[in-house]
Each structure stands twice: as structure tokens, then as C-alpha cells.
Amino acid sequence: MDLQLNGKVVLISGGGKGIGSGISLSLAREGAIPIILSRSAITEEFKKNIEAITTNYEFIQIDLNETEKIQGIVDDVAKRYGGIYGVVNNAGANDNKALETTSWQEFEKSLHGNLTHYYELVHATVKYLKASKGSILNISSKTALTGQGKTSAYAAAKGAILGLTREWAAALIKDGVRSNAIVVSECWTPLYANWIKTFDDPEARKKVITDKIPFEHRFTTVDEIGDTAVFVLSPKSSHTTGQWIFVDGGYVHLDRALD
Ligand code: NAP
């Protein structure tokens, strides 16, 4: 199927690593032009992987916590490429700001790092999305719906992202711009690998987690998120908007008694 993404410019926050890298590579395979906005330089491995597909991509180094820099970058990209088709809001991290030990100041700081740049990237791009009848994709987390027990700020940010997905779908309904979210549960990424190392017995912990993932008892891969992302972003997904799409092996919705 031709997803009709050829030559379309898509911004991806955190697009050089983990889930974002899976999305950037899937977009590149479909002939889209990934514009990666991220904090750390892209790795040689990622560079090799994407350049095996295309040289028509760009990496722009930015700490998205510096929200005021986003509009200028977006305008510059739109000017140089003649427009923008898509935005993928993906950058973020579970920072475990627990209810009993987190001040409201730390809570707000965490929201800034996980939520505010999602808003600003779309706010800065919306006029270009309207011109291209483009598409927004927000990456959220199961914690928005299930909680996790020690991560108030992250759960609040990821819940707000689901709310914004619906709000933007409604706000842009007459403009032909779609807005959807992918909800991730347990996806193997560099962030995840670092987190699992914090347990005394990481392998045992991995088994506890994968045993609870109904479909094939394994982690979701970044390619699986990437491949769903390109379809949802693409014009071929033309009547899907305001949706939360779970790419999680059934983790959030299926019967806990399944083995
Ligand atoms: P990852 O491996 O750490 O990749 C995230 C990328 O985003 C990194 O390149 C990171 O840069 C970048 N980034 C983070 N904050 C940034 C900022 N303020 N400015 C610029 N770049 C920033 O993480 P991941 O596991 O792929 O997670 C991606 C998204 O999926 C996040 O929103 C996360 O909450 C969500 N998610 C993941 C899982 C999972 O199981 N992995 C589950 C639920 C939701 P640095 O390399 O500099 O840190």
C-alpha cells in the first residue's frame, strides 16, 4: 500500500532514539522527510541506519524544555522545505515524581519537561498543518490510564496528552487536520534498558513484566510502534481522528487471567 507520505515533512521530537527512532526510520522507509528535534546528538548507529534508507532527513539539536526556541525552529523548517505535513510529539521520560515526596514546584517542572513542549510544538506548527491538511501524533503512556503508584507528574502529563489529542482533533476538525495518540505500555528502548538496570535482578524483573504482557509475553518493539505511527499519520488513515491507539500486546485491556 502506498501511504502517500513521499516527500512529506514530519517533525519528530526525540526522534533519534528509542520509540522516536523507530518512527523516524519507518517514516524514512515511506519516503517522508523526518526532521528530528532532540537533545543529544544522534548516535553513529542511528545515522548509519537512517542513511541506509535516505539522506533526506535532518537532525536539529534542541532541549525542548527551552520552549521559547521551538517556534523559530518550526518556522525555519517550514520556510526551507516549503511546508510541514506532520508532528510527532514523542520526547519525554518517566521521572518518578511520587505523591508523598514531590513538591508542587517539582511537579510543575516535570510537567514542563513532559507536556509543555507537546503543546508548543503543535501550537507553533498549526498554521502549516492547516495548509497541508496534515496530521498530529502524540505518544502517551499506559500510566495515564492505569497509574503506576509513584509517578504523579508523569501520569498527569500523559493523561493531559490524551486530553489534548481529543481537543486538537475537535479544534481542527474543519481544517482537515487529524490528531491521534499511540499509547505505549512496555517497549524496549534505551530509557527502558536504563530503568531495568536499577533493579537488583534486572533479568528477573524483565520476566515479571513480560509474563504480564498477554500477546507473546514480550516487549513491544520500536519498529512496531513506528509502523503503526506511519499509517496513523498518513493520508491513508484519512477518517481516523481523536483516537487513542494501543500498541501494547493487549497489556491495558485484556483479561488479567490470561496466561
Ligand atoms: P528514550 O529511549 O529516552 O528516547 C527519548 C528521546 O527523547 C531521547 O533521544 C531523549 O534525549 C529525547 N528527549 C527527552 N526529553 C527531551 C527534551 N526535553 N528535549 C529534547 N529531547 C528530549 O525514551 P523512549 O522509551 O523511546 O520514550 C519515548 C516516549 O514514549 C516518551 O514520551 C515516553 O514517555 C513514552 N513511553 C515509553 C514507554 C516505554 O516502554 N519505553 C512506555 C510508555 C510511554 P536524551 O537522549 O538526551 O535523553
For ligand 1, the distance from its centroid to the CA atom of residue 21, given in whole angstroms, is 10
Q: Which atom of ligand 1 is nearest to the CA of 142?
A: 43
- At 178-224, the pLDDT tens digits run 999 999 999 999 989 998 999 999 999 999 999 999 999 999 999 99
Are residues 28 and 49 in contact, defined by beta-carbon separation less than 8 angstroms? no
Mean pLDDT of the chain, nearest integer:
98
For ligand 1, the distance from its centroid to the CA atom of residue 259, given in whole angstroms, is 30
Structure-block grid coordinates of residue 148: 503506576
Give the three-state DSSP class for 49. helix
Select from 216, 223, 224, 219 the least CA-distant residue to 205: 219
Q: Which atom of ligand 1 is nearest to the CA of 140?
A: 44
The set of residues, in sequence order, having a beta carbon less than 8 Å from that of 162 and lying 6+ positions away, is 138, 140, 144, 145, 181, 183, 244
pTM of the entire predicted model: 0.98
Q: Helices 117-132 and 152-171: crossing angle, nearest 10°?
A: 20
Q: What is the mean pLDDT of residues 159-185?
A: 99
Q: Helices 70-81 and 117-132: crossing angle, nearest 10°?
A: 20
Mutate-to-test residue for ligand 1 from 60, 116, 191, highest number of ligand atoms within 8 A of CB? 191
pLDDT of residue 55: 98
Sign, Cα dihedral of 224, 34, 29, 85: positive
Is position 119 annotated as part of the catalytic site?
no
In the sheet with 33-38, reading across from the earlier edge strand, the strands are: 58-61, 33-38, 9-13, 86-89, 135-141, 178-184, 244-246
- At 75-123, the pLDDT tens digits run 999 999 999 999 999 999 999 999 999 999 999 999 999 999 999 999 9
pLDDT at 259 over 90: no
Q: What structural domains and CATH numbers belong to the chain?
A: 9-185+222-247 (3.40.50.720), 188-219 (no CATH)
Ligand 1-lining residues (CB < 6 angstroms): 14, 16-20, 38-40, 63-65, 90-94, 113, 139, 141, 184, 186-187, 189-192
- At 3-12, the pLDDT tens digits run 999 999 999 9
Distance of CA 93 to the CA centre of its chain: 11
- At 13-65, the pLDDT tens digits run 999 999 999 999 999 999 999 999 999 999 999 999 999 999 999 999 999 99
> How far, in Å, CA of 259 to CA of 256, rounded?
8
